[in-house]
């Protein structure tokens, strides 16, 4: 049995917690608690009135949760490609790195850069360049494993997270993506047909390694891939 006065006081305490946090996940966690307590309400008096109030409260809380979840998706997503953005990558990397450390598993971190992208934009226009970026993410989501993650790192650069892989498997996955992208797209520049390709640096995160460190190693490998002919994936040094 819950006293209505105690319930409303508790709700106000939860509201204060929500006002103090900027985390959508924390807001949703608090709202789940409020919703659980709301559904558990039992009053001695005013049964019918209380039931109607509880139903209205449940609907409002569910609607608010939905709005926050939608907002969280917008904040973490690159609106053009549908991949995670930098903020989304930061959140997902923290989660995957913590899981990898907890389970003593590896985490592949791949930095991808589309080849000759400036030439594509200059010759075919930025709208076409945008469609190339969108297509890369579409092909990646179709090719990669359900547990893999794609994030737009900036411009034509993307980061792909590959949980629980060793370096050879990570390279195989990226080579498969390169092949599928080549098959899915042809463009004509200067009267020559060519495929859209990308270069990649592939790093395995060490236990406890920070995001900036492992991406920096992948970036160095990516630089090598660009220097040695493009359309290739090179493993990073430890």
Which residues have a catalytic role annotated? 156
**How do beta strands 198-204 and 233-235 pair?**
parallel
| C-alpha–C-alpha distance, residues 218 and 215, integer Å | 5
The DSSP annotation for 101-163 comes to HHHT--EEEEEEEETTHHHHHHHH-HHHHHHHHHHHHHHHHHHS-TT-EEEEEETTEEEEEEE
Count other Cβ atoms within 10 Å, centred on residue 213.
Answer: 14
Take residue 98 and report the two structure tokens written for it.
Answer: 């913590």
Take residue 205 and report the two structure tokens written for it.
Answer: 């995160």
Count of helix runs (H) and strand runs (E) in the chain = 8, 7
Find out whether 218 and 171 touch, Cβ atoms under 8 Å. Answer: no
Find out whether 55 and 16 touch, Cβ atoms under 8 Å. Answer: no
DSSP type of residue 41: -
Angle between helices 47-76 and 86-103 (to 10 degrees): 100
């Amino acid at each position: 049995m819950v006293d209505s006065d105690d319930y409303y006081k508790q709700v106000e305490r939860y509201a204060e917690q929500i006002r103090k946090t900027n985390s959508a996940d924390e807001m949703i966690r608090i709202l789940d608690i409020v919703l659980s307590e709301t559904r558990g309400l039992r009053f001695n008096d005013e049964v019918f009135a209380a039931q109607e109030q509880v139903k209205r409260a449940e609907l409002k809380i569910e609607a608010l949760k939905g709005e926050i979840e939608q907002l969280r998706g917008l904040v973490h997503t690159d609106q053009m490609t549908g991949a995670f953005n930098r903020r989304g990558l930061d959140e997902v990397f923290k989660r995957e790195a913590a899981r990898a450390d907890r389970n003593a598993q590896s985490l592949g971190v791949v930095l991808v850069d589309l080849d000759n992208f400036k030439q594509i934009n200059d010759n075919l226009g930025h709208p076409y360049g945008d469609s190339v970026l969108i297509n890369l993410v579409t092909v990646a989501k179709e090719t990669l494993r359900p547990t893999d993650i794609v994030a737009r790192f900036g411009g034509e650069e993307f980061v792909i997270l590959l949980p629980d892989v060793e370096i050879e498997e990570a390279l195989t996955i990226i080579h498969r993506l390169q092949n599928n992208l080549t098959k899915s797209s042809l463009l004509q520049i200067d009267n020559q047909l060519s495929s859209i390709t990308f270069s990649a640096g592939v790093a395995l995160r060490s236990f406890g390694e920070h995001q900036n460190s492992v991406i920096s190693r992948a970036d160095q490998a990516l630089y090598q891939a660009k220097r040695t002919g493009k359309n290739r994936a090179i493993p990073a040094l430890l």
